[in-house]
């Protein structure tokens, strides 16, 4: 390419915008976003430790078990050649009301997409530094990505609002 093409400005899409775009495409998706009073460098590593974090703030989940984790780095003899640097793939179970539901998880810096097997439930968490990293902008989304589930949005909104309130309190206390 000649001329200015090589230097033209390129727009970017952070984890929050990516989450909003995905949420806007799912009729039942409910999400809430706001500021956590904790540094991003503290908040995200804690949130990304799903076994520890999710049962503490998610009102519907009693326990998370990580069954399998790939580092996504594509390095080493056993590495997945299709893996992407900076992205981890996890297989987990989330125990809700005594039932362990299997989820596939994609985990990146500031982005965590959890999809139940058979696509019956979707949880998305996204975060970005705020105030230069002194605080954390956070988005929590839940959805049932099946046809005819739009009517459940109100219920899901109450769920994510409660989860977000819990997380806000935990962040203020330093987790």
Partner 1 sequence: MDALVRALIPYVGRVCGAIALDRGDDAMQETFIAVLRNIRSLREPAALHGWVRRIAVREAIRAARGGREDPVDPDALVGLAMAPVDVATVVDVRSTLAGLAPEQRAILVLRDVDGLSEAEAARLLGVPEGTVKSRLHRARSAFTRRWEP
Kindly tell me which of 32 and 171 has the beta carbon lying closer to partner 1. 32
Buried b (16+ CB within 10 A) or exposed e, 126-153: bbbbbeeeebbbbbbbbbbbeeebeebb
Of the ranges 5-13, 73-81, 93-101, 162-170, which one interacts with partner 1 (CB under 8 A)? 5-13
Quick one: which of 110, 58, 112, 119 has its CA closest to 90? 112
Residues 111-130 that bind partner 1 (CB under 8 A): 113
Instruction: Locate 40 and state its tokens.
Output: 């991003």
Q: How far apart are CA 135 and CA 171, in angstroms?
A: 10
CB 71 within 8 A of CB 88: yes
Q: Out of 13, 77, 118, 148, which residue is the one contacting partner 1 (CB under 8 A)?
A: 13
Q: Minimum CB separation from partner 1 for residue 157, in Å?
A: 19
Query: Is 81 an interacting residue with respect to partner 1 (CB under 8 A)?
Result: no
x/- map, 16-55, partner 1, by CB under 8 A: -xx-xxx-xx------------------------------
Closer by beta carbon to partner 1, 90 or else 170: 90
Structural contact between residues 28 and 143, judged by C-beta atoms closer than 8 angstroms: yes
Kindly indicate which of the ranges 13-21, 44-52, 148-156, 166-174 contains the residues binding partner 1, using the contact rule CB under 8 A.
13-21
Instruction: Give the CB-side neighbour count of residue 147, counting CA atoms within 13 A.
Output: 0
Q: Enumerate binding residues for partner 1 (CB under 8 A).
A: 1-5, 7-14, 17-18, 20-22, 24-25, 106, 113
């Amino acid at each position: 390419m000649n001329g200015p093409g090589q230097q033209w400005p390129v727009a970017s899409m952070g984890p929050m915008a990516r989450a909003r775009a995905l949420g806007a495409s799912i009729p039942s998706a409910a999400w809430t976003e706001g500021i956590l009073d904790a540094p991003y460098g503290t908040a995200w590593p804690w949130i990304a430790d799903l076994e520890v974090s999710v049962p503490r703030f998610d009102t519907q989940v009693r326990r998370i078990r990580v069954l399998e984790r790939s580092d996504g780095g594509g390095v080493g003899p056993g590495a997945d050649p299709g893996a992407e640097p900076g992205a981890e793939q996890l297989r987990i179970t989330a125990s809700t009301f005594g039932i362990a539901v299997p989820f596939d998880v994609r985990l990146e810096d500031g982005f965590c997409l959890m999809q139940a097997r058979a696509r019956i439930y979707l949880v998305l968490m996204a975060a970005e530094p705020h105030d230069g990293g002194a605080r954390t902008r956070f988005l929590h989304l839940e959805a049932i990505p099946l046809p005819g589930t739009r009517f459940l949005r109100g219920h899901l909104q109450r769920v994510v609002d409660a989860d977000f309130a819990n997380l806000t309190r935990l962040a203020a206390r330093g987790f």
